[in-house]
Structure 1
């Protein structure tokens, strides 16, 4: 290390790093007592087997197994999580790790009893507590259970969620006090009502978040664990280095791609940092990155793994439940922002390499050539998948009853063939990044060794996207295939290598890998299981107190009614709420509190924000808490690997992640970026999606160049400003168009019935609703969108859910029909106050020139920047 770069942190050993991951993800306790160690492993194994049992989609043997409903499976899920939390996680850093103290045994037993009680007496609870008549014994058990759950949360996740959960419990109980603002005051819940709502009922601890963890998340975490145990993690990293290591700053580019591939199957930013970072960070430092820069690249790429479909740190499954849209829709909306964010990070790394004139490891290769190969490979894979879809469709039409068996036979044949190909190459070893001489692998030597790892991912995508099966069913089939691969890949390789005598030993080793993978998957779920249960406390509090509905008012007061400042405040609140929380709990907390705030504030200012856009907005800011000091858990993990300063690493990683901060604002103002309103079932929709992707990628690259201060050469301030302006125009050209042409013509609200009857079928009308706020009595406004659906004006009016009370030139509104979307949107208005709620005006979309017209001046400005920088350019841009 040079004198200009003093080491300000301590570089951890491999053992320290594994302990760091264990402490945060699977529990740091490793008992010396063999019986206790076997108990922990046995419970973890039982948990995985239990989850596979309840997930099996009524196969031939299902008739011999009892069927359990969600009120029974959720308590058992939490039972395993709490029991293992006290066995696997020490109470304090100073607590013994080689044995389980007596206090932990007691806490484990009491916590296990409180959760098992909810399972065993579910019928009794349905007749008593869940009917509003809890017994004193049930309340006592519930109160003890909540306290023990919060302690398990503290051990497994740190103090953040425990403190937040405790504060929400106090707020729900007290309701009023000098620390509680008037805006969110309420009468307070009785102790019995509080415990009933949080523990005994099905809407608190045992509510939707824990249900998602039980039904979906466990299987995906288990799938990722088995995939990694089979060797896929090392395969992905090696493949990334083989493809990108030869470029300028190649190790950093490989770190980004490797983290993206492992992020697909990982639910933990910290595990991703340590898993890939132990190899990538030393190599990044070799080619010229400082310790902090190397750690920051790894942090930015690992945290980005949490926004990458299909898992998204389990947030994708929670969005399905919270928003009420299909899983495929969530993936559709999340895909483009995640991909362009990764592409931009690769470009940022490339710009750093150009600025420092970094060498390549080995013989340098062309960055453009690599991109061309990537897109060719992507196109070939896409064409192959499309051909498979049509082939299966034809097979199903010809022999519908035999399609399943034929497909399973073909899948088995493909798997055996791919293992035979892999057997021709030696098994991949984990490289030493600190070796004196680094020999980068060749793609041709790597890709064939792990093609069979792609099959379970293809099966997962097939059932999710093509068959449109539920996430749980899809994950079950993918996991079942993964179990088969782990158990058979070793003996099959021995067979193909002519080592038939070793097949029995290799089969045994495969079963051991399977057992260890099942155990590891369950241990990785301890924190998530506890987190989703503890986060249920917050969800229940939000639904039973005014805090959820009144936060919008608080943000509006602080922002002075300026929409952009409102969004900045919501982003900051989400960032603060997410500090110290794992991705799953993070999303539950920030979405419960802030997502509806984004929608309601947007509506008040005339901006209609899709609910999925609001959820993605708060989710993006929530996961930035893993990056940002002072908590920044992923940054601290990266600094432990690199030996850099953790605070400096966090700030550098935040700077690299500015694109992730900018994206949520962009798709709030232009929802097309998340393909909202784009129909991928038509060729027109597909072409529109491709256009959006290309333009957004180009814009994001320009944004990255502007923030890095380097494009073709080092940028001057005015050039960076110009690049930002071009990027902004490409992302949201509608902002400029709205300044030139009003998007709507405004009509008086009294004409609503006439306008609704005259507009074309399916036309969207925006209604400005004005009236007294239910809580404050002050005049409030919001924008409501209604669709003109129906053959006649009367049918269309009925479909809107609005009840009109015309009074001369004023269109008064009565309380909307109960249960309609309109009633939900107008819930904050007081329809029984002296001042009426009125339909103030109607906005009808009008024909305008296309927003893409503004691309022309933007591209001309870009051309000017290119001309200016070409004069100073000293090295190729790619």
Structure 2
């Protein structure tokens, strides 16, 4: 994990969804966090396999572990990290204390017929305040401010609004009870997702990377793609697709694979901004790639009650189309610049790469096999973790010892802090939304503004996702929009799966869309290019992120129709994405003038328009363009100017 260490005892963490500042730990504090991470991971493995514990109590302890580590890892004041360490210790221990309070006294509350005592309300209030503070430290001000606005609305702020948004408000004790003890507050549905699916797959990723799989994936991608034109850039697409699905963070993916791929792209002749843009666009796509999809598939499954296996199954074709769309840009840019494949000496032999790391396929196969056999994602993740350790012993180069296992357990617990905080704090927003019926109100508002137009509704959702994404991490942005906007799309005839999948895809756009695009900015730091110009490049390369979700709503590409229609939509959609790449790059077999570029743009519209007649016309035009383009290119080669 990449970090930037400063002299005042803090380090800038580039491995999460935000560029948060961490405290540089040492001595007893470092050892304490290490072992808390180990215990936290062991607790989550136990409670998700053989352990029996009420859901809200499990989520409370999850809160306790995450906040205990978070307060010590992330300083209150960035410029005074060492001075505030004692206070941060106190806040961390207090966080674990209020979590234990719920575990110890929840039964007593039920025995009093849900009538809380003053001490219950104090514990609830402290838990909320601590939640807001740790969220400020790890993600900035926007999420806690948003949570406070929602709390204020529910406590009485809504009574000053008129019409659709009028809400008389609830009492402070009622709000504290709902946020702390009820199943729709901090320890509710979103906390369940965090303490089960998300935690275990973050832990799975930690074990996989500790075993050396990251280096293997990059070498495998290089051996497969290195011989083609623009090979390192195509390798970045391949490696980032696999790594991003596991890591769950576009920024972490950009830094992890980009530190290797971006210098290689620059070395073969790509500009720094293009190299950074490729890595940012590819890394963003990692969250769209099954079988793990970051945390998205688990959250979507829990929220919609659609099986996890179905979600990852239908997500594969659109994800593949996205990565192909990025590869189209790379291939066309490489051809336009006349770049050559990598030197043979720099490309590892596929046989040697597989010989060194063949055992890494075993845990992935075990994970997918357990899911397909019908086991729960939590059980499959635990089985995958065990398979990583067993598989590592089949190769002397990757063998994990006791220290390696402890390191992976600790890393998994610590890596969960930022994501866990985001999800737990999102529980406040979701709790208020459900309590006041805001989702229905927002859906009615969108429907009114759009006038019942689906395409206008989609545009509004895309704009909302971009605005939210400027301050919210991807996971939080998806959760908020899913609650508020998905019902509006369903009112217009979009299926539950398509509505949530579209929102999930659009929630990724802030990673690659200026002015706030963390993945692109992280890539620019590695590439040595300007952040804004790299962001613009990544925005152009990630066109599939905006176009493919339209197919979710207008075609059966999510397997919501006959297989031949799914295949037809996928093939013509991919051809349309290629035409869009040609339009933006201005090259296909030869440099194109604006007349030809607009012709390809028109062809792209025909191929993506949800009518088979336009698809047929688009295919005919594309074939004709290809024939004419090849003939013109051969003529230019035979008679160069």
Interval of TM-score (by shorter of Structure 1 and Structure 2): over 0.9
Partner residue of 2:310?
A: 329
CA distance in 2, matches of 1:119, 1:216: 21
Q: 1:101 aligns with which of 68, 85, 93?
A: 85
CA distance in 1, matches of 2:95, 2:361: 40
CA distance in 2, matches of 1:313, 1:349: 25
Confirm or deny that 1:187 pairs with 2:168. Answer: yes
| Cα shift readout 1:18-46 (whole Å, capped 9, x = no counterpart) | 943257589722322x2221111010000
Q: 2:385 aligns with which of 451, 465, 479?
A: 479
1:609 CA drift (Å): 0.4
1:561 CA drift (Å): 4.6
| Cα shift readout 1:487-529 (whole Å, capped 9, x = no counterpart) | x35xx628xxxxxxxxxxx97x722111111111111111121
1:462 CA drift (Å): 0.5
For the 8 Å contact 1:722–1:862, the answer to whether it is kept is no
Partner residue of 2:43?
A: 50
Q: Could you say if the C-alpha distance between residues 352 and 558 of structure 1 is closer, same or farther in structure 2, counting changes exceeding 3 Å? A: same
For the 8 Å contact 1:262–1:305, the answer to whether it is kept is yes
CA distance in 2, matches of 1:689, 1:863: 22
Map 1:644-683 → 2, pairs under 5 A: 644-670=529-555, 672-678=556-562
Would you tell me which structure has more helix in proportion to its own residues? Answer: 2
Map 1:84-95 → 2, pairs under 5 A: 84-95=69-80
CA distance in 1, matches of 2:341, 2:458: 42
CA distance in 1, matches of 2:34, 2:20: 12
Q: Which secondary structure does the structure 1 equivalent of 2:23 belong to?
A: coil
Partner residue of 1:273?
A: 254
1:579 CA drift (Å): 2.7
Q: 2:203 aligns with which of 212, 217, 222?
A: 222
Partner residue of 2:156?
A: 174
CA distance in 2, matches of 1:723, 1:106: 63
For the 8 Å contact 1:570–1:598, the answer to whether it is kept is no
Map 1:458-607 → 2, pairs under 5 A: 458-465=365-372, 467-486=373-392, 488-489=393-394, 493=396, 510-600=401-491, 602=492
Partner residue of 2:603?
A: 726
Confirm or deny that 1:240 pairs with 2:131. Answer: no
Q: 1:30 aligns with which of 24, 27, 30?
A: 24
Q: TM-score, normalised by structure 1?
A: 0.68
| Cα shift readout 1:89-110 (whole Å, capped 9, x = no counterpart) | 122332326x861221221122
Q: 2:622 aligns with which of 862, 869, 872?
A: 862
Map 1:715-794 → 2, pairs under 5 A: 715-734=592-611
Confirm or deny that 1:451 pairs with 2:358. Answer: yes
CA distance in 1, matches of 2:417, 2:225: 36
Q: Which secondary structure does the structure 2 equivalent of 1:712 belong to?
A: coil
CA distance in 2, matches of 1:709, 1:552: 41
For the 8 Å contact 1:184–1:550, the answer to whether it is kept is yes
Q: 1:145 aligns with which of 127, 132, 138?
A: 127
CA RMSD in angstroms, aligned pairs only: 2.6
CA distance in 1, matches of 2:11, 2:627: 51
Partner residue of 2:96?
A: 112
CA distance in 2, matches of 1:18, 1:230: 25
Partner residue of 1:68?
A: 53
Q: How many residues end up aligned between the 2 structures?
A: 631
For the 8 Å contact 2:11–2:24, the answer to whether it is kept is no
CA distance in 1, matches of 2:100, 2:420: 15
Q: Which secondary structure does the structure 2 equivalent of 1:204 belong to?
A: coil
| Cα shift readout 1:163-207 (whole Å, capped 9, x = no counterpart) | 2212211222223376x5743221112111211111221211111
Confirm or deny that 1:258 pairs with 2:18. Answer: no
CA distance in 2, matches of 1:873, 1:162: 58
For the 8 Å contact 2:71–2:89, the answer to whether it is kept is yes
Q: TM-score, normalised by structure 2?
A: 0.92
CA distance in 2, matches of 1:232, 1:18: 26
CA distance in 2, matches of 1:302, 1:553: 35
CA distance in 2, matches of 1:589, 1:254: 34
Confirm or deny that 1:873 pairs with 2:633. Answer: yes
1:646 CA drift (Å): 1.2
Q: Could you say if the C-alpha distance between residues 18 and 666 of structure 1 is closer, same or farther in structure 2, counting changes exceeding 3 Å? A: farther
Q: Could you say if the C-alpha distance between residues 163 and 26 of structure 1 is closer, same or farther in structure 2, counting changes exceeding 3 Å? A: closer
Map 1:306-317 → 2, pairs under 5 A: 306-317=287-298
CA distance in 2, matches of 1:543, 1:127: 26
Q: Could you say if the C-alpha distance between residues 563 and 697 of structure 1 is closer, same or farther in structure 2, counting changes exceeding 3 Å? A: closer
| Cα shift readout 1:282-328 (whole Å, capped 9, x = no counterpart) | 11112222222111110000011011112222111111111111111
CA distance in 1, matches of 2:196, 2:291: 16
CA distance in 1, matches of 2:293, 2:141: 24
Q: Could you say if the C-alpha distance between residues 93 and 647 of structure 1 is closer, same or farther in structure 2, counting changes exceeding 3 Å? A: farther
Partner residue of 2:335?
A: 354
For the 8 Å contact 1:87–1:100, the answer to whether it is kept is no
Q: Could you say if the C-alpha distance between residues 545 and 463 of structure 1 is closer, same or farther in structure 2, counting changes exceeding 3 Å? A: same
| Cα shift readout 1:737-781 (whole Å, capped 9, x = no counterpart) | xxxxxxxxxxxxxxxxxxxxxxxxxxxxxxxxxxxxxxxxxxxxx
Partner residue of 1:622?
A: 507
Q: Which secondary structure does the structure 1 equivalent of 2:333 belong to?
A: helix
Map 1:125-136 → 2, pairs under 5 A: 125-128=109-112, 133-136=115-118
CA distance in 1, matches of 2:20, 2:371: 28
Q: Could you say if the C-alpha distance between residues 35 and 230 of structure 1 is closer, same or farther in structure 2, counting changes exceeding 3 Å? A: same
CA distance in 1, matches of 2:3, 2:424: 34
- Unpaired segments ≥5 residues, structure 2: none
| Cα shift readout 1:832-870 (whole Å, capped 9, x = no counterpart) | xxxxxxxxxxxxxxxxxxxx3443322222233234433
For the 8 Å contact 1:675–1:689, the answer to whether it is kept is yes
Q: Which has the larger radius of gyration?
A: 1
1:274 CA drift (Å): 0.5
Q: Could you say if the C-alpha distance between residues 94 and 727 of structure 1 is closer, same or farther in structure 2, counting changes exceeding 3 Å? A: same
- Unpaired segments ≥5 residues, structure 1: 1-11, 59-65, 364-437, 495-505, 603-607, 679-684, 735-851
